[in-house]
């Protein structure tokens, strides 16, 4: 199914509605606030005021998938254009940290080219994934193939279960 959208940011109906609401906005501060918030979200949806567009290429944040079976937790991250040497993994206090840097690729034969549009992401990134499970930290392993990082974390026996503490009346 194809969704059609009007590409013009303002329609005639919008102009008419804004003119009609202008008097209401002047009298009611809540209506003014609502109008400003709607305008803000419309601008965000259209990409106006995108800070990453102003300061250069956006920093990538890898997409992840967390899966589980009876014995293991799996974290699968998409890291296109990277190698295993570009990625750093740590696991501490129940949080898996995936960090790295994707460097811009420049070849000598491209020196005369001018870049007009780039949607590729470069730069440092860090993603922290809290895992609410006991993990056997000594047997965690990771593999990297075709831009896909797979971290396999064996489940450990559940940590000491919560115990009830009796509350006594203070003297």
Q: What is the DSSP string of 103-150?
A: PPP--GGGTT---S------EEEEEEEE--S-B-GGG-EEEEETTEEE
Structural domain total, the chain:
2
Burial of residue 155, with CB atoms counted within 10 A of its CB: 0-12 exposed, 13-18 middle, 19 or more buried: middle
Residues 148 and 74 grouped into a single domain: yes
At residue 148, the pLDDT reads: 93
Full domain range(s) for residue 92: 64-110+120-154
Answer left, alpha or beta for residue 40, where phi above 0 means left and psi between -120 and 50 means alpha.
alpha
In a domain, 7, yes or no: no
Residues 104 and 132 grouped into a single domain: yes
At residue 52, the pLDDT reads: 45
Using alpha carbons, select from 82, 64, 66 the residue that is nearest to residue 121: 82
In a domain, 170, yes or no: no
Residues 28 and 80 grouped into a single domain: no
At residue 21, the pLDDT reads: 57
On whether the CB atoms of residues 98 and 77 are closer than 8 A, the answer is yes
Instruction: Starting at the earlier edge strand, list the strands of the sheet with 87-92.
Output: 87-92, 95-102, 123-130
Residues 80 and 125 grouped into a single domain: yes
Residues 74 and 133 grouped into a single domain: yes
In a domain, 79, yes or no: yes
Using alpha carbons, select from 100, 101, 104 the residue that is nearest to residue 56: 104
The CATH number of whichever domain residue 129 belongs to comes to 2.60.40.790
In a domain, 5, yes or no: no
Burial of residue 115, with CB atoms counted within 10 A of its CB: 0-12 exposed, 13-18 middle, 19 or more buried: exposed
In a domain, 39, yes or no: yes
At residue 143, the pLDDT reads: 93
Triad 121, 125, 129: Cα angle to 5°: 125
Residues 44 and 81 grouped into a single domain: no
Residues in the chain predicted with pLDDT less than 50, given as ranges, are: 50-59
12-27 helix and 29-46 helix, angle to the nearest 10 degrees: 150
In a domain, 1, yes or no: no
Residues 16 and 71 grouped into a single domain: no
């Amino acid at each position: 199914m194809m969704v059609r959208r009007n590409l013009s940011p303002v329609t005639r109906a919008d102009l008419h509605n804004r003119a009609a609401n202008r008097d209401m906005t002047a009298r009611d501060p809540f209506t003014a606030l609502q109008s400003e918030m709607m305008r803000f979200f419309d601008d965000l949806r259209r990409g106006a005021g995108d800070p990453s567009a102003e300061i250069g290429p956006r920093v990538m944040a890898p997409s992840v998938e967390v899966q589980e079976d009876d014995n293991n937790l799996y974290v699968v991250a998409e890291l296109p254009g990277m190698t295993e040497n570009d990625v750093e993994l740590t696991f501490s206090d129940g949080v898996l940290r995936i960090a790295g840097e994707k460097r811009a690729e420049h070849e000598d034969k491209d020196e005369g080219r001018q870049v007009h549009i780039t949607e590729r992401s470069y730069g440092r990134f860090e993603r922290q994934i809290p895992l609410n499970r006991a993990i056997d930290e000594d047997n965690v392993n990771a593999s990297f193939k075709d831009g896909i990082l797979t971290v396999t974390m064996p489940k450990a026996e559940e940590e000491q279960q919560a115990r009830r503490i009796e509350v006594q009346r203070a003297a």
